[in-house]
Amino acid sequence: MIVMKATATDEDIRSVADRIESVGARADVSHGAEITVIGAIGDRDHDLRVADLGLENHDGVDHVMPILKPYRLAAAERRQGEPTVLEIGGRKVGGDHFALIAGPCTVESRGQTLEAARIVRNAGASLFRGGAYKPRTSPYSFQGLGQEGLRMLAEAKEQTGLPVVTELMDARDLDAVLEVADVIQLGARNMQNYTLLSEVGRSGRPVLIKRGLSSTLEELLMAAEYVLKEGNEHVMLCERGIRTFETAYRFTLDLMAVPVLKELTHLPVIVDPSHAAGRRDLVEPMSLAAAAAGADGIIVEVHPEPEEAICDGPQALVGEHFPAYAERVQAAAALAGKKLSVGAST
């Protein structure tokens, strides 16, 4: 919809209408008492071509209002409101299926990884998380064990049967990550790394995209669009806290994103309370709130001995407390009509 300025001349209006028609769309001109509005009518492709005309810079144009959503594949309407249900190693995510994804921030050693995987599996977790490539604010901090860490994740998967979620930061590591990852995590800092999104899209592997620190929901959906556009339908979105003026906690967990994303998209919505909170005591209340709000899953950090953790220890749930936590989260998910996904039989 092109809104003309009150000062637009007949010639301006004709010229805008001609440009719209030059790309195959129909120009529908409505003359109001003060301003004229021109509707560009056509299909999705016409919409994109009209958007590319740069009509906002044209003489006499006040502003251009897109009517259709810029994310076409991620939009809820594309599936007539039906949710996408992913199947990852026999665990369903989305619809009525709730995924509890748990594990340490990072893979530190073989013992720590196998112990963490055992703890979360025994408590009924759906998937195991752990990073071998870590996006750290400081280049002097531990950066992850890389390929050695991936091998430890592979062993954890073999021992517990849990599918693995692990982060990819650099497309050069894609083949190595594909060896073990059932879900590739794209971290908050890479949410707008468009070449990486496309590369992961082409791999066809399920992807968990974390919302950028200062990204809008529309930007998150456009990131998902990059993966979907490559033909990869296996996408989960993750709210992990955003930057606001509040300094009492690390990030502000935007739980309103859960019902709003579920209205806008058919993709499953996961919540990460650990990175938002930055401290353990907030993780459970936010997990319960997220599950009750209708999230399709939680991704949470758990460590057998958080005081020994190399990274994110203060926010990690203590391994021995995890079974009780998992039970309460499951009860909260049930409030939203969802059942914990624990394997092929559920």
The contact set with ligand PEP (CB under 6 A) reads: 105, 131, 135, 187-189, 210, 240, 272, 275
**Secondary structure of 313-346 in the HEC alphabet?**
HHHCEEHHHHHHHHHHHHHHHHHCCCEECCCCCC
Q: How far apart are CB 152 and Mn ion at their closest, in Å?
A: 17
Question: Which CA distances in Å does 258 have to 152, 268, 304?
Answer: 33, 10, 30
The distance from CA 163 to its chain's CA centroid, rounded to whole angstroms, is 18
254 is in the binding site of which of ligand PEP, Mn ion, none (Cβ under 5 to 8 A by kind)?
none
188 is in the binding site of which of ligand PEP, Mn ion, none (Cβ under 5 to 8 A by kind)?
ligand PEP
131 is in the binding site of which of Mn ion, ligand PEP, none (Cβ under 5 to 8 A by kind)?
ligand PEP
250 is in the binding site of which of ligand PEP, Mn ion, none (Cβ under 5 to 8 A by kind)?
none
What is the Cα–Cα distance from 118 to 160, expressed in whole angstroms? 6
209 is in the binding site of which of ligand PEP, Mn ion, none (Cβ under 5 to 8 A by kind)?
none
Binder to Mn ion among 13, 104, 312, 317 (CB under 5 A)? 312
Q: How far apart are CB 108 and Mn ion at their closest, in Å?
A: 12
Q: How far apart are CB 8 and Mn ion at their closest, in Å?
A: 54
Q: How far apart are CB 342 and ligand PEP at their closest, in Å?
A: 22
Q: How far apart are CB 187 and ligand PEP at their closest, in Å?
A: 3
By beta-carbon proximity to Mn ion, the closer residue of 190 and 330 is 190
What is the Cα–Cα distance from 127 to 157, expressed in whole angstroms? 9
Kindly state the number of chain residues that form the binding site for Mn ion, as judged by CB under 5 A.
Answer: 2
By beta-carbon proximity to Mn ion, the closer residue of 108 and 312 is 312
The distance from CA 93 to its chain's CA centroid, rounded to whole angstroms, is 13
Binder to Mn ion among 88, 101, 105, 340 (CB under 5 A)? 105
The closest of 118, 215, 87, 231 to 223, measured between CA atoms, is 215
By beta-carbon proximity to ligand PEP, the closer residue of 144 and 294 is 144
Q: Which residue's CB atom is positioned nearest to ligand PEP?
A: 187
By beta-carbon proximity to Mn ion, the closer residue of 201 and 304 is 304
Q: How far apart are CB 135 and ligand PEP at their closest, in Å?
A: 5
By beta-carbon proximity to Mn ion, the closer residue of 294 and 319 is 319
Q: Which two tokens stand for residue 146?
A: 């890389």
C-beta of residue 103 within 8 angstroms of C-beta of residue 116: yes
By beta-carbon proximity to Mn ion, the closer residue of 199 and 312 is 312
By beta-carbon proximity to ligand PEP, the closer residue of 8 and 177 is 177
Q: How many C-alpha atoms does 227 have within 13 Å on its Cβ side?
A: 29
Q: How far apart are CB 37 and Mn ion at their closest, in Å?
A: 49
What is the Cα–Cα distance from 306 to 320, expressed in whole angstroms? 11
Residues near Mn ion (CB under 5 A) are 105, 312
